[in-house]
């Protein structure tokens, strides 16, 4: 059984051929150029699908369905993209548009939910029935799996965990509110904290970025801590408190079997996860029962493609 999964991002569209086990058999991508209107984007998706079919010598009649992960709220039942922040989709019926080109079923869903479904199909959360994945990037993407299904609420837009407030009256968020989880705990937030440390004259950070604070990335502070810098440790501890606060909130809310950390920062492995686990253990509401396991995402960027391909399955 073969499926096509498409992951629509801000700067590129990725897609692949996936089998029923959630194995990615072939993948490819197309950069999104200047034209970001709905018709141009659909054209790009059609080309991507045709490339996949051509390269893998597969006929569209062998594709059970095409699933699409979208960076914005969707009406899953009707196949409509309600809105996107940086792309030209606004109340757009993607399902109908793609059906004009391909004679197969079309499913759409939120991209972060697709990543959670991908990990749950063939990644970190395989064999668990409930999990939450947090992708730490520019913001914080979140996908929720309950009873082996994507949880998206009665109106398909649940799971905006990056925009739950952890500090009333705190830092301004792009969403208009103040104090959102992602303004404190995204990878971008950590980079900003590291840059502040450099501006305050931390010698180790300045050495690691060759005195160019624009070269600081999510890894910089971890490297400084590994090299024994005390100031960097203090800043990383502060970041862990923010990340841990949001993670404890999620665990106290959902008590999922697993909480998965994805995004570039997760490459730091236990240097990120161990202090996070320690913070969570100290701050969870109840310690007398089986606890949520905190693990690293396994599939990287493939999770979104695989999960999109699995959208019709659950």
Residues 6+ away with beta carbon under 8 Å from 2: 17, 18, 19, 25, 58, 62, 63, 64
The footprint of a copy of itself on residues 279-298 (CB under 8 A) is 283, 285-286, 288-292
Q: Yes or no: say if 133 and 297 are a contact pair by the CB < 8 Å rule.
A: yes
**Can residue 193 be called a binding residue for a copy of itself (CB under 8 A)?**
no
Question: In this chain, which stretch among 1-9, 57-65, 115-123, 168-176 interacts with a copy of itself, using CB under 8 A?
Answer: 168-176
12 versus 283: smaller Cβ distance to a copy of itself: 283
Residues 6+ away with beta carbon under 8 Å from 68: 5, 6, 7, 8, 45, 94, 98, 106, 107, 108, 109, 308, 311
Cα separation, 45 vs 123, in Å, equals: 25
196 versus 207: smaller Cβ distance to a copy of itself: 196
Given 151, 188, 273, 296, the residue binding a copy of itself (CB under 8 A): 151
To a copy of itself, the closest distance from the beta carbon of 261 in angstroms equals 18
To a copy of itself, the closest distance from the beta carbon of 165 in angstroms equals 5
Cα separation, 14 vs 304, in Å, equals: 9
Given 159, 218, 262, 304, the residue binding a copy of itself (CB under 8 A): 159
To a copy of itself, the closest distance from the beta carbon of 229 in angstroms equals 24
**Can residue 171 be called a binding residue for a copy of itself (CB under 8 A)?**
no
Nearest to 46 by CA among 83, 8, 90: 8
Site residues for a copy of itself per CB under 8 A: 73, 75, 82-83, 129-130, 146, 151-161, 163-170, 175-177, 179, 184, 241-242, 245, 248-249, 252-257, 283, 285-286, 288-292
């Amino acid at each position: 059984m073969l499926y096509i999964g498409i992951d629509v991002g801000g700067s590129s569209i990725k897609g692949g051929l996936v089998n029923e086990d959630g194995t990615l058999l072939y993948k490819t991508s197309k950069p999104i150029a200047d034209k970001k209107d709905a018709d141009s984007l659909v054209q790009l998706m059609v080309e991507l699908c045709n490339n996949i079919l051509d390269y893998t010598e597969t006929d569209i009649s062998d594709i059970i369905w095409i699933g699409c992960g979208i960076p914005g709220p969707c009406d899953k039942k009707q196949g409509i993209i309600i809105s996107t922040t940086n792309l030209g989709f606004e109340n757009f019926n993607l399902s109908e548009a793609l059906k004009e080109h391909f004679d197969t079923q079309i499913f759409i869903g939120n991209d972060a939910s697709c990543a959670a479904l991908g990990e749950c199909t063939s990644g970190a959360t395989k064999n668990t029935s409930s999990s939450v994945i947090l992708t730490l990037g520019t913001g914080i993407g979140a996908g929720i799996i309950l009873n082996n299904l994507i949880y998206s609420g009665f109106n398909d837009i649940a799971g905006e965990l990056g925009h739950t407030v952890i500090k009333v009256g705190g830092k301004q968020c792009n969403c208009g509110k103040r104090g959102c989880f992602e303004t404190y705990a995204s990878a971008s937030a950590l980079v900003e904290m590291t840059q502040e440390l450099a501006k305050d004259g931390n010698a180790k950070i300045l050495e690691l970025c060759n005195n160019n604070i624009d070269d600081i990335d999510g890894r910089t502070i971890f490297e400084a801590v590994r090299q024994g810098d005390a100031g960097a440790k203090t800043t990383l501890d502060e970041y862990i408190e923010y990340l841990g606060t949001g993670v404890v909130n999620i665990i106290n809310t959902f008590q999922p079997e697993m909480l998965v950390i994805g995004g570039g920062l997760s490459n730091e492995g236990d240097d990120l996860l161990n202090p996070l686990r320690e913070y969570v253990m100290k701050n969870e509401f109840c310690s007398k029962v089986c606890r949520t396991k905190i693990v690293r995402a396994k599939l990287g960027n493939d999770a979104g493609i695989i999960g999109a391909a699995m959208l019709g399955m659950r």
